[in-house]
A and B are shown apart, each in its own frame.
Chain A
Amino acid sequence: MMRSLPKPRTQKLTIIAQDPSAKDGAGRIVRARVEIPAESLQPGPWGYRVQVVDFDAATDTLWKPLEYKKRNGIVEDPFATASDAELLADPRFHQQNVYAIIMRVLGRFEFALGRRVSWSFGGHQLKVAPHATADANAYYSKEDEGLFFGYFVDPATNGLVFSCLSHDVVAHETTHALVDGLRSRYTDPSSPDQAAFHEGISDVVALLSIFSLREVMAGLLSGWKGTGKVSAKKLSPASLRQSALFALAEQMGSAMSQARGQALRNSVRIVQNPALISSAEYQEPHRRGELLVAAMLNALIEIWSERVTGLFLSAGELDLSRVVEEGQRAADILLTMSIRALDYCPPVHLGFGDYLSALVTADREIRPDDSTYHFRARLLASFAAYGIKPSSPGDAEEPGIWTAASGAFSHERSHFEPMQRDADEVFRFIWENRKELDLTEGVYTEVQSVRPCIRAGGDGFSLRETVVEYVQILRLMPPELTDAGYTRPDAELLPDDREVFIHGGGTLIFDEWGQLKYHVHNRLNSYDKQSARIAYLAESGYYLARRPKSEAVRVTRQGLFSQMHLNRGLNRSRKLTDTWAGAKAPPQPVPAHVCGVHSFFTTEEENDDANA
């Protein structure tokens, strides 16, 4: 028998390219058919990483799940030729839209990182409710292991606005989930930068993801004229900043502000001014995150605008497809760089300066020759224009990059092979080298992750690295702070009975020979920085909102084994069937629930009884 051809590895599905308010030259909603990994789907769509459960709490309805027909081993796109009205009115299209966009963003992360990316909650499948509630809101919740998208009425048109149909919103929320999977401590209360980072990077990924949709880019640039040309005037940095390409969530923004064409955010238009970052307005996380977006995307705009200057067809006109190609190539490099940089960031207390150093380091490792785009220099300049300096000085040739790890590390008590995957093995290395790594002794220390990765390099070879995150946690009562070396805030903001958690930690990057290449850290013993964070949290009312630390020992239900032993020892063998446990009792209430949405102040509280 002849062997059949291998199954296709990808499949194409229709999505709404921006949101239902973006129309093409014929007045139709702009769509795209995107390529995502082929997989065997259950009704939902329910695949190996994403499970759509279309439960609508506002109307208490479960909407029917999308079931695909298969042909030649891949699913058939049921909406390939659907009308606009069908796309809007059929919840199953909305399900496909969120599924496909999430898979695409996930795929992009895995490509950039050279490995699978896990969700932070432990399970394999992220749950998604495309019509969770009737609110103008969308969010990621770790505790609920899912993404929630709301819908609402636009008072101007009385029509419904679905946040799950906005590419930017879906990509943004997906990025929250992915970043949380990579760096779970970035949702901890820390600094204005850390809270803002989650927002900023999610916007960056959402905006750059649009660039890979060729037809959409061409249409947006040319105004859907189909002439294959674009006016040079539209490609100046100033015009590009006004382009819909760099505006986020237009339909939601318009409906929420009651002003047509008003995007939810338009960060690239923020005027370059190094003073903004310390102004009161930019302390709010979303607003501050916009500075990160502005710094990164303005670098892209400069590069793109410069690259197309040689592409003139005739006076004042350029070839559209070449312009799009240049933009796509540059955006692709920037997106890869911004995702890879996450691996080179410290695991706790991320500052914008840390991220900038991580960006240029990650890029230098895999793309040493930057002579075509000058991306690294451009990024450093653009960040500086918004008042952000790299945390590491770097050297004359590569300013801003992290300094290489130095020290005589002992490998004698650890083994090469498990060092690439086994947290206990790496912990042993850290334990033996704790002095060399300048760790604080006598505090709780834990290896959070060990991630081997293989990244594609420009020279055709692959770059192998192992990325390790460890954290150190010190818990002190306020009166102990001063003796430990930290500055204690005013007792009115930090009463004596509120426990203070101080987090330190580092990222260790091992090269392919198992040698430590970089050690990126925010240490417990950086007393000034840690004191500044404690002061910031105190001033924002964080400690006042926490419960006083109880001196009483908390007695919780015993574990299974201790119970078994105790029962045997006490000769107690009463069975539940002998009791009234099964008798009709009043219904048990659903446990009260704290939403994980951007609630940076709840995480620690819930972890009160555990260190990690």
Chain B
Amino acid sequence: MPTPKPTSLSIRSYQVGFGDSFLLTFHYPKVAGKPKAVHILVDCGSTAMPAAATHSLDDIAQQIATDCGGKLDAVIATHRHADHINGFGTNAAGDNSGDILAKLKPALVVQPWTEDPALAPDAIKPTGKLKALAAHTRGLQAMHACAALAADEAARLGSALPERTRKQLAFLGETNLANLSAVKNLMTMGKKNEYLSYGAKTGLTKLLPGVKIHVLGPPTPADYSEIEKQRSKDKDEFWHLLGATAQNPQTARAPFDKKFAAKTRPAHARWFAQRVTAAHIQQRLEIVRALDDALNNTSLILLFEVGGKKFLFPGDAQIENWNYALKDAPEAAANCKLLAATDFYKVGHHGSLNATPKTLWKLFAKKGAPTKKTTLTTVVSTMSGKHGSTSANTEVPRATLVAELEKNSVFFTTQRIKKPPLFEKRDFPL
């Protein structure tokens, strides 16, 4: 019997404000007279809903449950940022969005290799490749400690900080915090878990007959060993160091005995003390920004190839993650050829300035007027005014990128979804 092939693919983009949530439904020919479809959820998270919205992530989860007919085949959580996974969070009452999604009993949960619990530093033998991986995971844990510290600091300093700085610090801190219940839920909700890296085989292939799945990122430190050697400092160790300071409240909170603390702050010390605080906050922001980038770069990059069409879901991957697939991997040339034929692109990182590398955009061969039949489709899930600033050219979504997408692709932004249904559905015949 020939392998059945999907006849069409529906992609639903949900209105989650600043976050990502997509449902991929692959339609297959009827089996024994019954329609057959495979449902795959890509991310479910939000750090802010539009001001006018009356719905919550719970409503989104409910909508997903309806749309997939009460059963998910697979869940893909591209990376650990809250705006991609906090929808999987559960509560004690068992009625949170994550509880609703868990009831959809996915057969498979797919995440980047960095989320593999077997990599916990105390759970494995530090040997060979695993050692490098464990060091990286330990780095990620330390990053969360740093993020917690940043969020903490934003709260502690409160009104002493300029509003924009405080918001930025709090936002980046919270986004990067490990969402424990969501992480746990992702670990347990599926029958099977998979932690993928560049070039890995995936069980999604078995769930999706007739679909070829390419894992184009993230690379592992082992893939990158040559590049690691050239770096003067190990980035992961850097997080580890900061994490150690952050996680050690006793030492970090008081480097000296209390008896050495001055009771008053004399006038001559105040100007400089304020400068020291400002510099300290600036450093924290820099660190948490770098941390945000690092976590974005753990994103899974998946390319679905089906019926001669190619659908690209890169999470929030930035250039550092992309570099391997596009430049440094042995298969780089083949990857570029594959990507050139992309028909659907989920815009990286809510349309921020650095998650659609120009190298990648230039590669896409099907750019063109939106009216043309062959032009590729681009979809961004985003919300303006939450992140970045227009005056600094860092607003998300970035205006110049959006203009280019509008001009040279069939473009859709979830910002256009103003009322129920809470999603936009797009069908691709295959």
Interface residues of A (CB under 8 A from B): 51, 53, 55-65, 89-92, 127, 129, 131-137, 141, 144-146, 148, 151-155, 158, 160, 162, 255-258, 281, 284, 286-287, 547, 587, 589-595
Task: Establish whether residues B283 and A137, one from each chain, have CB atoms under 8 Å apart when the complex forms.
Answer: yes
Of B39-47, B197-205, B265-273, B314-322, the stretch lying at the interface with chain A is B265-273
B residues near A61, Cβ cutoff 8 Å = 254, 261-262
Task: Establish whether residues B164 and A89, one from each chain, have CB atoms under 8 Å apart when the complex forms.
Answer: no
Is there a chain A Cβ closer than 8 Å to B165's Cβ? yes
A residues near B254, Cβ cutoff 8 Å = 59, 61
Tell me which of A256, A257, A547, A595 has the highest count of chain B C-beta atoms within 10 A of its own C-beta. A595
Task: Establish whether residues A160 and B163, one from each chain, have CB atoms under 8 Å apart when the complex forms.
Answer: no
Choose from A60, A64, A153, A255 the contact partner of B252 (Cβ within 8 Å). Answer: A153
A residues near B276, Cβ cutoff 8 Å = 53, 55-57, 129, 132-133, 144, 146, 148
Q: A58-B280, A91-B260, A136-B242 are contacts. A53–B165 as well, Cβ < 8 Å? A: no
A residues near B269, Cβ cutoff 8 Å = 53, 55, 62
A residues near B163, Cβ cutoff 8 Å = 589
A17–B274 alpha-carbon span in the complex (Å): 31
| Between-chain CB contacts (< 8 Å), 15 pairs | A51-B272, A56-B276, A57-B273, A58-B280, A60-B156, A62-B265, A62-B269, A64-B261, A145-B275, A146-B276, A152-B245, A258-B240, A589-B161, A589-B163, A590-B274
List the 4 closest pairs (A to B, CB-CB), nearest first: A57-B280, A155-B244, A593-B278, A589-B162
Choose from B161, B260, B265, B275 the contact partner of A146 (Cβ within 8 Å). Answer: B275
Is there a chain A Cβ closer than 8 Å to B62's Cβ? no
B159 to chain A, nearest CB (A): 6
A594–B283 alpha-carbon span in the complex (Å): 10
Is there a chain A Cβ closer than 8 Å to B180's Cβ? no
Tell me the nearest residue of chain A to B166, going by C-beta: A589
Task: Establish whether residues A257 and B255, one from each chain, have CB atoms under 8 Å apart when the complex forms.
Answer: no
A286 to chain B, nearest CB (A): 8
Q: A587-B159, A592-B162 are contacts. A132–B280 as well, Cβ < 8 Å? A: yes
A390 to chain B, nearest CB (A): 28
Task: Establish whether residues A144 and B251, one from each chain, have CB atoms under 8 Å apart when the complex forms.
Answer: no
Is there a chain A Cβ closer than 8 Å to B54's Cβ? no
A108–B127 alpha-carbon span in the complex (Å): 50
What's the interface size class on B, roughly?
35 or more
A89–B391 alpha-carbon span in the complex (Å): 46
A residues near B91, Cβ cutoff 8 Å = none
Task: Establish whether residues B240 and A591, one from each chain, have CB atoms under 8 Å apart when the complex forms.
Answer: no
Task: Establish whether residues B241 and A152, one from each chain, have CB atoms under 8 Å apart when the complex forms.
Answer: yes
Tell me the nearest residue of chain B to A257, going by C-beta: B237
A569–B254 alpha-carbon span in the complex (Å): 59
Is there a chain A Cβ closer than 8 Å to B233's Cβ? yes
A287–B282 alpha-carbon span in the complex (Å): 24
Tell me the nearest residue of chain A to B237, going by C-beta: A258
A residues near B237, Cβ cutoff 8 Å = 256-258
B residues near A127, Cβ cutoff 8 Å = 272, 275
B residues near A257, Cβ cutoff 8 Å = 233-234, 237
- Mark contacts of B86-107 with chain A using CB atoms, 8 A cut-off: 1 yes-contact digit, 0 otherwise: 0000000000000000000000
Tell me the nearest residue of chain B to A546, going by C-beta: B393
Is there a chain A Cβ closer than 8 Å to B248's Cβ? yes
B residues near A594, Cβ cutoff 8 Å = 282
A60–B283 alpha-carbon span in the complex (Å): 15
B136 to chain A, nearest CB (A): 14
Task: Establish whether residues B282 and A62, one from each chain, have CB atoms under 8 Å apart when the complex forms.
Answer: no
A604 to chain B, nearest CB (A): 16
Q: A151-B255, A256-B233, A589-B161 are contacts. A53–B393 as well, Cβ < 8 Å? A: no
Q: A55-B272, A57-B277, A144-B275 are contacts. A134–B240 as well, Cβ < 8 Å? A: no
Is there a chain A Cβ closer than 8 Å to B225's Cβ? no
Task: Establish whether residues B242 and A57, one from each chain, have CB atoms under 8 Å apart when the complex forms.
Answer: no
B residues near A155, Cβ cutoff 8 Å = 240-241, 243-244
B234 to chain A, nearest CB (A): 7
Choose from B165, B255, B262, B278 the contact partner of A62 (Cβ within 8 Å). Answer: B262
A58–B243 alpha-carbon span in the complex (Å): 14
A567–B262 alpha-carbon span in the complex (Å): 47
Choose from B232, B238, B253, B279 the contact partner of A57 (Cβ within 8 Å). Answer: B279
Task: Establish whether residues B279 and A595, one from each chain, have CB atoms under 8 Å apart when the complex forms.
Answer: yes
Q: A92-B260, A127-B272 are contacts. A153–B279 as well, Cβ < 8 Å? A: no
Task: Establish whether residues A133 and B260, one from each chain, have CB atoms under 8 Å apart when the complex forms.
Answer: no
Tell me which of B237, B246, B256 has the highest count of chain A C-beta atoms within 10 A of its own C-beta. B256
Task: Establish whether residues A148 and B162, one from each chain, have CB atoms under 8 Å apart when the complex forms.
Answer: no
A153–B268 alpha-carbon span in the complex (Å): 30
Task: Establish whether residues A135 and B242, one from each chain, have CB atoms under 8 Å apart when the complex forms.
Answer: yes
Q: A257-B234, A590-B160 are contacts. A141–B280 as well, Cβ < 8 Å? A: no
Task: Establish whether residues B248 and A547, one from each chain, have CB atoms under 8 Å apart when the complex forms.
Answer: no
Query: B residues 385-401 with Cβ under 8 Å of A?
Result: 391, 393
B382 to chain A, nearest CB (A): 22
Is there a chain A Cβ closer than 8 Å to B230's Cβ? yes
Is there a chain A Cβ closer than 8 Å to B287's Cβ? yes
A273 to chain B, nearest CB (A): 16
Tell me the nearest residue of chain A to B277, going by C-beta: A57
Other than the given A256-B233, A593-B279, 4 more pairs (CB < 8 A) read A55-B273, A58-B280, A144-B279, A158-B251
A residues near B242, Cβ cutoff 8 Å = 135-136, 152
B residues near A153, Cβ cutoff 8 Å = 241, 244-245, 248, 251-252
A143 to chain B, nearest CB (A): 8
A residues near B165, Cβ cutoff 8 Å = 592
Is there a chain A Cβ closer than 8 Å to B226's Cβ? no
A68 to chain B, nearest CB (A): 16
A334 to chain B, nearest CB (A): 26
Tell me the nearest residue of chain B to A57, going by C-beta: B280
Is there a chain A Cβ closer than 8 Å to B257's Cβ? yes
A137–B255 alpha-carbon span in the complex (Å): 16
Q: A129-B272, A155-B241 are contacts. A591–B162 as well, Cβ < 8 Å? A: yes
A127–B142 alpha-carbon span in the complex (Å): 32
A426 to chain B, nearest CB (A): 34
Task: Establish whether residues B283 and A136, one from each chain, have CB atoms under 8 Å apart when the complex forms.
Answer: no
Q: A61-B261, A63-B256, A90-B260 are contacts. A132–B279 as well, Cβ < 8 Å? A: yes
- Mark contacts of B278-298 with chain A using CB atoms, 8 A cut-off: 1 yes-contact digit, 0 otherwise: 111111000100000000000
A59–B287 alpha-carbon span in the complex (Å): 18
Tell me which of B160, B234, B255, B278 has the highest count of chain A C-beta atoms within 10 A of its own C-beta. B255
A413–B255 alpha-carbon span in the complex (Å): 62
Task: Establish whether residues A592 and B164, one from each chain, have CB atoms under 8 Å apart when the complex forms.
Answer: yes
A255–B241 alpha-carbon span in the complex (Å): 8
A590–B274 alpha-carbon span in the complex (Å): 8
Task: Establish whether residues A136 and B241, one from each chain, have CB atoms under 8 Å apart when the complex forms.
Answer: yes
Task: Establish whether residues A58 and B160, one from each chain, have CB atoms under 8 Å apart when the complex forms.
Answer: no
